[in-house]
């Protein structure tokens, strides 16, 4: 995204400025090649690589902090400020700004691109194959489900007295579709992650609601939804089908979203997937 980038040699010291890029990076290279991470990468509730990330210092997005770690390359997200990218490039550091995708094929392409950048093409092909295999296995389960009988699903989170949902083009929306559900917010014409209201929830009439936020807040939010008389006739509320889920599988933009789709599919189709265990993805030895 930031033009032509020349990588002079295989990067031995890597830093990324986004959690999603960190998750892909740890899936491709030994942890000792990651010289620093952001604070969210070290938080177990938000990150799928938190344990490994404890070995690296947590730093912010200050150019001086990043330069002090002496990275060979910095991977930036679309949201990284242009001033930061310019400052790092001026310091002689190769900076690669890449988008992360929230569709199944795009997630594999992200793996292959970073594998190429890090000089780990073989490992990238191996991990990409693993992710594709998990996606194909899930697709095989949901492929036979009649469209008219697939549950209508709504992702909701509650922060600072506002309720957010996930419409077309959102990470959670892609997970709903991968898991075999119908995204009720997308069906209502919503895009990305807008706010909604109790009236919006009533009008969308989801069969299932999942809550991808930290457990304490999710449980309190679930109880609030279940106890609100205005929502009593919403199918998900009426039948008690409101589920807190680990946000690290549902909101972090990386191939770990496939793990979220597996979790959600087990909720939507318990007869097919009840009791099935979904292992973590592999890491390089």
What does the pLDDT average to over 234-259? 97
- Is residue 147 very low, low, confident or very high in pLDDT (cuts 50, 70, 90)? confident
> Which has the closest alpha carbon to 278: 265, 269, 173, 153?
265
pLDDT value at residue 115: 98
Report all structural domains of the chain as residue ranges with CATH numbers, in order of start. 14-134 (3.40.50.1980), 147-273 (3.40.50.1980)
Report CA-CA distances (Å) from 80 to 37, 115, 185, 206: 15, 21, 29, 36
Q: Is the pLDDT of residue 149 over 90?
A: no
- Report whether pLDDT(285) > 90: no
Average pLDDT for the chain:
96
pLDDT surpasses 90 at 176: yes
pLDDT over 90 at 148, yes or no: no
Angle at alpha carbon of residue 195, lines to 189 and 196, rounded to 5°: 70
Q: Give mean pLDDT, residues 173-180.
A: 97
- Using CA atoms, how far residue 112 sits from 46, 116, 121, 230, 259, in Å, is 24, 6, 7, 48, 19
Region 64-75: mean pLDDT is: 97
Residues 90, 245: contact at Cβ < 8 Å? no
Confidence of residue 111 (pLDDT cuts 50, 70, 90): very high
Phi, psi of 33 (to 5 degrees): -85, -10
Region 240-250: mean pLDDT is: 97
**Which residue blocks in the chain are alpha helix, DSSP H?**
19-26, 50-53, 63-68, 82-90, 104-117, 121-142, 171-178, 184-187, 198-204, 215-227, 235-238, 247-250, 257-268, 270-273
Residue pair 262/134 in contact by the 8 Å Cβ criterion: yes
The confidence band for 274, taking pLDDT boundaries of 50, 70 and 90, is confident
Share of the chain above pLDDT 70, in %: 100
Calculate mean pLDDT across residues 189-198. Answer: 97
Token couple for 151: 């549950």
Mean pLDDT of the region 126-135: 97
Tokens 């693993």 belong to 130
pLDDT in tens, 40-57: 999 999 999 999 999 999
Residues 6 or more apart whose CB falls under 8 angstroms from that of 34 comprise 14, 15, 22, 25, 26, 53, 56
């Amino acid at each position: 995204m930031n033009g032509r980038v020349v990588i002079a040699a295989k990067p031995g010291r890597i830093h990324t400025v986004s959690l999603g890029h960190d998750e892909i990076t740890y899936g491709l290279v030994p942890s000792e090649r990651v010289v620093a991470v952001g604070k969210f990468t070290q938080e177990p509730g938000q990150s799928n690589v938190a344990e490994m990330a404890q070995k690296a210092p947590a730093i912010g997005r200050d150019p001086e902090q990043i330069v002090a770690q002496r990275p060979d390359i910095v991977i930036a997200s679309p949201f990284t400020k242009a001033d930061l990218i310019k400052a790092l490039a001026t310091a002689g550091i190769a900076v690669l700004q890449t988008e992360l995708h929230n569709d199944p094929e795009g997630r594999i392409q992200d793996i292959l691109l970073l594998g190429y950048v890090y000089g780990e093409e073989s490992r990238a092909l191996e991990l990409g194959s693993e992710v594709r295999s998990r996606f194909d296995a899930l697709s095989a389960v949901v492929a036979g489900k009649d469209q008219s009988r697939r549950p209508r699903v709504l992702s909701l989170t509650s922060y600072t007295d506002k309720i957010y949902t996930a419409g077309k083009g959102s990470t959670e929306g892609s997970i709903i579709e991968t898991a075999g559900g119908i995204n009720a917010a997308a069906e209502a014409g919503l895009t990305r992650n807008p706010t909604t209201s109790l009236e919006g929830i009533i009008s969308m009439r989801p069969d299932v609601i999942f809550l991808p936020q930290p457990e304490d807040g999710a449980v309190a939010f679930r109880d609030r939804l279940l106890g609100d008389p205005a929502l009593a006739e919403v199918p998900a509320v009426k039948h008690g089908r409101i589920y807190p889920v680990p946000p690290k599988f549902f909101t972090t933009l990386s191939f770990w979203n496939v793990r979220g789709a597996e979790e959600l599919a087990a909720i939507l189709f318990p007869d097919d997937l009840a009791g099935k265990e979904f292992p973590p993805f592999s890491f390089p030895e």
